[in-house]
A and B are shown apart, each in its own frame.
Chain A
Amino acid sequence: MEKTALLMFVFILIAIPLVNADVIMPGTHAVTINNQITNINDFPDYAFVSICKLGSYSQVKIVGSDGKIESYYKFCDVSVYAIPKSKFKGVEDMEYNFNKIVNESIYISGGDEIRENFNDTYYNEKTQEYFNSLSAKKVISGISSQKTLSDSDPTKEITEYYTIELNKNINQPNLITSIKQNYFIYLYVLVPVISLIIIIYIILKRKNK
């Protein structure tokens, strides 16, 4: 008896982080969103970069000739910029400049307690100045890399297609396709139905006795 109780206790300790309760935070799963620019080859004189901004953190990735926008951490605010190839000096150069702006945006405030502060206004102004110096044009904003769906949602993968124009900043895809392969939903219906049948059978059998 003591052994069983101990085993149960160990199991609970292991399982507690997984418990969503009868229902609390029901099982969810993250679905990757593939983002794609459909007409990137219409602009041969431009280099395209995606930029993730999360607080003072920035990351830059190049958009390949296939138009695929690389995915980022889910809380990133992702935008795509078109930069004339004549002014584009590479991803490393952009990241160097971003880091420089970030460092300049941090200042130390005094008082009873010395702490670091981040000056958002300064950061935004300087990044805008930097983009202007590159003649960069924001063509897409508000890109998501991930979506959290309930386990009962059959969607397995989402692809969002963007058709861009250089003088326009779009924040919605022109086309969204999804692959539905998650058949878990049928289990969520089948299991309760079978359970209910057994429960009714048990109750009826008792009444007939």
Chain B
Amino acid sequence: MQPVLVFLSTFFIELIVYFTLIKKEVKENIILYCFLINAFTWPLANLFYGFFNLFWIIELGVFLVEFVLIKSLFRIEWKKALLISFIANLITTFIGYLWMVIFRVYTSA
């Protein structure tokens, strides 16, 4: 159950970023596209992390893949797609990283 909640949390956070940054240009299917993008990158990222444990490289890969998918699905200019992908991943990474730090401090106390 927890992976589903974690996925949904990531999805909602990215959805807010998408809504905030592209709602003026794109009116339709934001939720569907956001869900598809996350349903593609999130499980694969977790899978690769489970095998290789290369967090930053995997996160960079997610950022680049999401950039391409945002650009293709929303049909917006590449600079904007890059910005959206960067901000969305920066926020989720930051929250996750913060949580990881708190979790480690808590469990090692």
Could you say which of B13, B40, B47, B95 contacts A195, with CB atoms under 8 Å apart? Answer: B40
Main SS class of interface, A: helix
With contacts defined as CB atoms under 8 Å apart, how many contacts are there between chain A and chain B in the complex?
Answer: 128
> Shortest CB–CB separation between residue B11 and chain A, in angstroms?
10
Chain B positions 46-67 with a Cβ under 8 Å from a chain A Cβ: 46-47, 49-51, 55, 58-59, 62
- Residues of chain A at interface, number, CB under 8 A: 36
Interface size range of chain B in the complex: 35 or more
Which residue in chain B gives the minimum CB-CB distance to A196? B40
Given known pairs A19-B99, A188-B44, A203-B73, the reply for A24 and B93 (CB within 8 Å) is yes
| Residues in chain B near residue A151, CB distance under 8 A | 3, 46, 50
**A20 with B47: CB separation less than 8 A:** no
**B49 with A23: CB separation less than 8 A:** yes
Chain B residues with CB under 8 Å of chain A are 2-3, 5-6, 8-10, 12-13, 16, 36-47, 49-51, 55, 58-59, 62, 69, 72-73, 89, 92-97, 99-100, 103, 108
Which residue in chain A gives the minimum CB-CB distance to B15? A8
**CA of A136 to CA of B51 in the docked complex: distance in angstroms?**
42
